[in-house]
Amino acid sequence: MKTILRPNIAALVPYSSARDEFKGTAEVYLDANENSLGSAIDTHTLNRYPDPLQLKVKEKLGKIKGVAPANIFLGNGSDEAIDILIRAFCNPGKDNIIILPPTYGMYEVAAKINDVTAKAVNLTKDAQLNLAGIKVATDKNTKLIFVCTPNNPTGGTIRKADIETLLNTFNGVVVVDEAYIDFADEASMIQDLIKYPNLVIMQTFSKAWGLAGLRVGMAFASNEIISVMNKIKAPYNVGELAQQLIAKALENKEGVNKMVNVLKQERAVLVEKLPTFSFVKGILPSRANFLLVKTTCPNELYGYLIDNNVVVRNRASLPLCEGGLRITVGTPEENKKLLALLSTFEKPLTK
């Protein structure tokens, strides 16, 4: 890890906040220039800065995930983790990352913001890794490879054996984005962290946990990588309310499992019904809470749904996604509404 870390980050002495320096409980806190009287919203005790390392949350989360708190990073969405990883390992104007389109757009955007080149190696026709292509694209300045599984927007999982090939052969960090893993039948790679010091796994509270509005994402990795991420992050990157609510949510894994089951059932309903429309050419196999639906007329269909107050994501311009609309699995009622709308869209075409 030390050989691929940016030298300025390796040498960085992080900002030490008041709450980093004093971790115990005191009677009087006059160390952080907070408002000692209280806050504008008197129903919450928010006048104090939150725990910079979110230890209570990490202890609970660690028990569920089977990892130690020292192997967990929490951030302002997994988007923060993506940005921090790029800043930790990639020298601006010099280094590069590899992305595997079609995939989540923020890897490339975060790279560009940091003046880092994102080299694209498209997935193969069956939405798997092009290992030979990745090998050709990799050079001595390639620091990170972002693998998204289940992949957004195709929805399928990437073969684990291929990810392991990357982990064994790539002299950099392999970031496995498992934002949608709760909807998959395949297991998370968290248990493989012990085997691979160059593995980072990202997950999020925004999908299965239903907490996108809170903005909390997770990364799991070796102590060394997590320490570097903590060194770079803003001192208080996860707010007090977010920490409290995540701690509460972690007590309701059962509720999350129930929602996941309903969404998986609804996904199956859509997979069965959508191909009955003449303009649906196919659906990619999905292990996520969305479907990439290939259609003969994506733009018209997208516009028609918008006109009827239903928003989906038009992904038709991406490689492997020709004609593709990415449709999130909704509530049973929402899915019924979608199917009803689609049946009235079909009529003009079949006249």
Ligand X SMILES: Cc1ncc(COP(=O)(O)O)c(C=O)c1O
At residue 218, φ and ψ (nearest 5 deg) are -125, 145
Query: Are the C-beta atoms of 298 and 323 separated by less than 8 Å?
Result: yes
> Smallest distance, Å, CB 243 to ligand X?
15
> Smallest distance, Å, CB 259 to ligand X?
17
Rg (C-alpha) for the chain, rounded Å, is: 22
Task: Candidates 71-79, 221-229, 236-244, 277-285: pick the segment binding ligand X (CB under 6 A).
Answer: 71-79
Could you say whether residue 77 binds ligand X (CB under 6 A)?
A: yes
> Smallest distance, Å, CB 337 to ligand X?
23
Q: Among residues 79, 108, 182, 266, which is the contact residue for ligand X, using CB under 6 A?
A: 79
Could you say whether residue 212 binds ligand X (CB under 6 A)?
A: yes
Could you say whether residue 295 binds ligand X (CB under 6 A)?
A: no
Q: For 115, left (φ over 0), alpha (ψ -120 to 50), or beta? A: left
Concatenated DSSP letters of 56-125: HHHHHHHHHHT--GGGEEEESSHHHHHHHHHHHH--TTT-EEEE-SSS-THHHHHHHHTT-EEEE----T
Residue 351's Cβ-count burial label (10 Å; 0-12, 13-18, 19+) is: exposed
> Smallest distance, Å, CB 219 to ligand X?
10
> Smallest distance, Å, CB 79 to ligand X?
4
Q: How many residues bind ligand X (CB under 6 A)?
A: 12
Residues 216-275 that bind ligand X (CB under 6 A): 217
CA 29 to chain centre: 37
CA angle 34, 84, 231 (to 5 degrees): 55
Q: Rounded to whole angstroms, how far apart are CA atoms 168 and 121?
A: 19
Could you say whether residue 179 binds ligand X (CB under 6 A)?
A: yes
Q: Among residues 72, 74, 99, 148, which is the contact residue for ligand X, using CB under 6 A?
A: 148
State whether the Cα torsion 106-111-113-114 is positive or negative. Answer: positive
Residue number with the shortest CB distance to ligand X?
77
Question: CA-based diameter of the chain, in Å?
Answer: 78
> Smallest distance, Å, CB 106 to ligand X?
7
Q: Which residues 6+ apart lie within 8 Å of 43 measured at CB?
A: none
Could you say whether residue 182 binds ligand X (CB under 6 A)?
A: no
Q: Among residues 54, 78, 96, 188, which is the contact residue for ligand X, using CB under 6 A?
A: 78
State whether the Cα torsion 197-138-106-10 is positive or negative. Answer: positive
Which amino acid is it at 142? T
* C-beta of 289 vs 335, nearer to ligand X: 289
Could you say whether residue 154 binds ligand X (CB under 6 A)?
A: no
> Smallest distance, Å, CB 298 to ligand X?
20
* C-beta of 54 vs 342, nearer to ligand X: 54
Q: Rounded to whole angstroms, how far apart are CA atoms 168 and 195?
A: 10
* C-beta of 204 vs 335, nearer to ligand X: 204
Q: Rounded to whole angstroms, how far apart are CA atoms 345 and 347?
A: 6
Could you say whether residue 104 binds ligand X (CB under 6 A)?
A: yes
> Smallest distance, Å, CB 119 to ligand X?
19
Q: Rounded to whole angstroms, how far apart are CA atoms 177 and 192?
A: 14
> Smallest distance, Å, CB 157 to ligand X?
12
* C-beta of 203 vs 342, nearer to ligand X: 203
* C-beta of 6 vs 267, nearer to ligand X: 267
Could you say whether residue 286 binds ligand X (CB under 6 A)?
A: no
Angle, in degrees to the nearest 10, between helices 332-350 and 253-273? 10
Q: Which residues pair with 98 in a beta bridge?
A: 119, 145
Q: Among residues 204, 222, 230, 286, which is the contact residue for ligand X, using CB under 6 A?
A: 204
Q: Among residues 83, 95, 108, 177, which is the contact residue for ligand X, using CB under 6 A?
A: 177
> Smallest distance, Å, CB 202 to ligand X?
7
User: How many other CB atoms sit within 10 Å of the CB of residue 88?
Assistant: 22
**Residues forming the site for ligand X (CB under 6 A):** 77-79, 104, 148, 152, 177, 179, 204, 206, 212, 217
